[in-house]
Amino acid sequence: MKQVVLILVLFINLPVMAQTKDSAKYVLVIHGGAGTILKKSMTPEKEKAYKEGLQKALDAGNAILKKGGTAMDAVEATVKVLEDNPLFNAGKGAVFTNEGKNELDAAIMDGKTLKAGSVASVTTIKNPITAARKVMERTEHVMLIGSGAERFAKMNGCVMVDPSYFHTKERWEGLLKARKADSLNAANDSTKKALKQPGNRDDKYGTVGAVALDIHGNLAAATSTGGMTNKRFGRVGDAPIIGAGTYADNNTCAISGTGWGEYFIRLVMAKSVSDRMELAKMTLDDAAREMIMKKLPALGGDGGLIGVDKQGNITMPFCTEGMYRGYIKSNGETVIKIYKED
């Protein structure tokens, strides 16, 4: 009898013991979008609000990872916090489409199983990242879109909201500005030029994302976005595309991208970083930098990404002026940055 009790106690203590070992480290990296983010056009109040938003997101994931929770749980919880924060272009705070709607995309991927889930063009799901996870866990599908994805989310207990939940004054003004710029561009050609992006892409895109390594050695990635301001015709960017904006593989890395989505799709950005590690034996940072600092601008795009590998190495390259970003490690080290020169 005594022996049985002893065994039980050992099992209960295992997670706690694991944390004390050096190998039981965890890492959480986040981004809140890349773009023309300049210190001179930022107020101290706004900067503080962004940093607090990033810190709150890191705290949510850290609370899970510290207790021995999974990378999947951590990235979902982290992205949910960013989705709920109107400062970031995802969930509440999503930008408006040309028709004045908020169409949201999200994806999540489990590096242990290579299972993935995503939703695109949804308008009534409070936290698209949670719907994406349910697609992964409760279906054999990867990608569900539009009203079909919404029906699925509702059937599976996701919090549904009226589309007006996503309306924010700042994003509405962004749409009016973008519409004006686009209508000037499109004076003589209603289709072609209206789909070209004007010079100032500042209000145009933004995404949130999280990648994590947990103490069990598993990687996960999650990305969520409201897409491009003034987007038309059911445009879908890279965020919900597995391999483009989101990818995780325990053998290599977990990646979440942010930037001009079309270029991330054409380069299959996240998978390209992973394949550089797997096939060319590059480090995470070298692989990510080659893609973001060379291949992406060479094609005419811009943006950034965050990544973590199975050893806990971190990368956060971007070729824009700034990227809201940060990380927290199991040793307590916390970093939050916005600008290039940070």
Among 79, 82, 120, 291, binds its own copies (CB under 8 A): 120
Q: How far apart are CA 107 and CA 116, in angstroms?
A: 7
Q: Could you say whether residue 268 binds its own copies (CB under 8 A)?
A: yes
Q: How far apart are CA 197 and CA 229, in angstroms?
A: 10
Q: Which of 42, 88, 35 is nearest to 320 (CA)?
A: 35
CB nearer its own copies, residue 146 or residue 312: 146
Q: Could you say whether residue 338 binds its own copies (CB under 8 A)?
A: no
Stretch that binds its own copies, among 1-9, 42-50, 71-79, 112-120 (CB under 8 A): 112-120
Among 77, 219, 244, 284, binds its own copies (CB under 8 A): 244
CB nearer its own copies, residue 148 or residue 172: 148
Q: In what order do the strands lie in the sheet with 253-259?
A: 246-248, 253-259, 303-309, 314-315
Stretch that binds its own copies, among 14-22, 27-35, 134-142, 315-323 (CB under 8 A): 134-142
CB nearer its own copies, residue 62 or residue 130: 130
Q: Could you say whether residue 114 binds its own copies (CB under 8 A)?
A: yes
Q: Which of 256, 216, 25 is nearest to 113 (CA)?
A: 216
Stretch that binds its own copies, among 4-12, 48-56, 81-89, 110-118 (CB under 8 A): 110-118
Q: Could you say whether residue 197 binds its own copies (CB under 8 A)?
A: yes
> Catalytic residue numbers?
207
Q: Could you say whether residue 267 binds its own copies (CB under 8 A)?
A: yes
Residue with tokens 């996960």: 220
Q: How far apart are CA 243 and CA 255, in angstroms?
A: 9
CB nearer its own copies, residue 52 or residue 189: 189
Stretch that binds its own copies, among 5-13, 177-185, 206-214, 228-236 (CB under 8 A): 228-236
Q: Is 36 helix (H, G, I), strand (E, B) or coil?
A: coil
Q: Could you say whether residue 159 binds its own copies (CB under 8 A)?
A: no
Among 142, 160, 293, 335, binds its own copies (CB under 8 A): 142
C-alpha distances in angstroms, 206 versus 93, 141, 202? 10, 26, 9
Q: What angle do CA 137, 87, 111 make, to 5 degrees?
A: 25
Q: How far apart are CA 208 and CA 60, in angstroms?
A: 15
Tokens of 167: 């309306």
Among 11, 12, 279, 332, binds its own copies (CB under 8 A): 279
Among 80, 92, 126, 235, binds its own copies (CB under 8 A): 235
Q: Could you say whether residue 302 binds its own copies (CB under 8 A)?
A: no
Neighbour-count burial for 155-191, b at 16+ CB within 10 Å, e otherwise: eeebeeeeeebbbbeebeebbebbbebbeebbeeeee
Residues forming the site for its own copies (CB under 8 A): 114-116, 120-121, 138-149, 151-152, 155-156, 190-192, 195-197, 231-237, 241-244, 247, 261-262, 265-268, 271-272, 275-276, 279-280, 299
